């Protein structure tokens, strides 16, 4: 783990609300009124306990519904954004693409635009307090998440908002949320629009077995894919042939039961095929992990040497949604940040 902590890293798949610290969540719950009553802390205990006890995918999404009642205020989301950057920077992450679903919560005065303003304020708060020189500090970009449960109308709005916020660091969108809900064909027009707008697109795919959807997603050729744990052999080969970079979230895949054990994970197949991969955290706060820990898990489970871990970390810097010039600068920053003994 110590070696992985010293490694400069790039995070490409982290959900903002999944980054919330345990302590912050408890504090926010204590301040939250639901229907005029203080939020029952038992609900949150269940949530924290649940995340330790290998919830099913359905339970995970129910867990987020509770969490969002606590975190969807302007002040909370601003704080969570700042703390997320603090935590990534402390873990030697030099660049992070953080994704979040713009939310509506009228009772808290939250609309998608104002929600995003709070995220930007949180990022600014981080830089105001950071003592690191800008060139050595974490850089951040955002993806707006399309929640597949919420239909194509909201998806279109999310894409339009992402396009409008490009100047402020939004580089793309991702398709997220409960994979058992929402039809690919229904949602596709929103993703077509994103592509037309020049936004990058990542799709969370294959969290459960759904070969026809996964195949359709591969044929659509997104810029990146997440998970892809539950693919049949033909689709695994199709993924390898596609060369589409894959965001791998090991702890998440295990805890959400997308795989039963790391022994069953398809990482080795993709790794040995030379497929472009990026280790990521998914929900570091909720899953109690860090990117360093994900590298340590990969090293242990798949017997990777230190040299291979370095190559993996540097490789991830080539799969960002940055423009080529910025991506090159990141690769240089990564190399310069490698510890001398590596």
105 or 333, CB closer to ligand 5GP? Answer: 105
CB-count burial class (<10 Å; 0-12, 13-18, 19+) for 231: buried
Cβ proximity to ligand 5GP, 171 vs 304, nearer residue: 171
Closest separation in Å from C-beta 202 to ligand 5GP: 11
In the complex, what is the shortest distance from the CB of residue 6 to ligand 5GP, in angstroms, rounded to a whole number?
28
Helices 22-31, 57-71: inter-axial angle, 10-degree rounding: 60
CA distance 142 to 164: 13
Smallest distance, Å, CB 64 to ligand 5GP? 4
| Cβ count within 10 A of residue 136 | 12
Of the two residues 223 and 309, which places its CB atom closer to ligand 5GP in the complex? 223
Give the residue ranges of DSSP H helices in 200-305.
211-220, 233-242, 250-255, 267-272, 284-287, 291-302
Instruction: State yes or no: is 207 an active-site residue.
Output: yes
Are 280 and 304 a contacting pair, CB within 8 Å? no
The residues of the shown chain that bind ligand 5GP, judged by CB under 6 A, are 15-18, 64, 100-101, 145, 147, 176-177, 179, 204, 207, 252, 256, 282-283
CA distance 122 to 139: 14
Q: Toward ligand 5GP, which CB reaches closer, 66 or 156?
A: 66
Is residue 327 within 8 A of residue 317, CB to CB? The reply is yes
Q: Return the number of the residue (15 or 82) whose C-beta is nearest ligand 5GP.
A: 15
- Gap between the terminal Cα atoms of the chain: 15
Half-sphere exposure of 130 (CA within 13 A, CB side): 22
Cβ of residue 211: shortest distance to ligand 5GP, in angstroms?
17
Taking residue 137's Cβ as centre, other Cβ atoms within 10 Å add up to 16
- The minimum distance between CB 15 and ligand 5GP, in angstroms, equals 3
Q: Which of 97, 204, 207, 213 is catalytic?
A: 207
Known catalytic residues are 207
């Amino acid at each position: 783990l110590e070696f992985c902590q010293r490694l400069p890293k790039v995070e490409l798949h982290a959900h903002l609300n999944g980054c919330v610290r345990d302590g912050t969540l408890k504090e926010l719950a204590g301040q939250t009124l639901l229907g005029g009553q203080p939020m029952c802390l038992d609900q949150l205990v269940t949530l924290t306990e649940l995340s330790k006890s290998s919830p099913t995918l359905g339970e995970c999404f129910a867990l987020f519904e509770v969490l969002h009642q606590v975190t969807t205020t302007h002040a909370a989301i601003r704080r969570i954004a700042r703390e997320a950057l603090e935590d990534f920077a402390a873990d030697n992450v030099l660049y992070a693409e953080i994704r979040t679903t713009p939310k509506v919560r009228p009772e808290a005065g939250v609309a998608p635009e104002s929600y995003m303003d709070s995220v930007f304020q949180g990022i600014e708060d981080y830089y105001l307090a950071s003592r690191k020189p800008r060139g050595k500090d974490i850089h951040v970009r955002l993806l707006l998440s399309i929640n597949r449960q919420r239909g194509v109308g909201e998806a279109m709005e999310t894409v339009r908002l992402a396009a409008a916020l490009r100047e402020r660091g939004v580089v793309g969108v991702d398709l997220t949320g409960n994979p058992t809900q929402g039809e690919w064909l229904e949602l596709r027009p929103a993703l077509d629009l994103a592509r037309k707008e020049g936004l990058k697109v990542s799709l969370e795919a294959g969290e459960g077995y759904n070969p026809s959807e996964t195949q359709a997603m591969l044929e659509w050729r997104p810029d990146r894919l997440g998970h892809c744990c539950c693919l049949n052999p033909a689709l695994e080969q199709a993924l390898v042939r596609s060369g589409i970079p894959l965001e791998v979230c090991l702890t998440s895949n295990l805890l959400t039961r997308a795989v039963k054990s790391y022994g069953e994970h398809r990482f080795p197949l993709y790794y040995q095929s030379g497929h472009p991969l990026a280790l990521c955290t998914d929900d570091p706060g909720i899953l109690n992990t860090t990117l360093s820990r994900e590298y340590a898990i990969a090293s242990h489970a798949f017997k990777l040497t230190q040299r291979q871990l370095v190559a993996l970390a540097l490789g991830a810097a080539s799969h960002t949604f940055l423009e080529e010039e910025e991506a090159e600068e990141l690769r240089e920053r990564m190399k310069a940040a490698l510890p001398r003994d590596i």
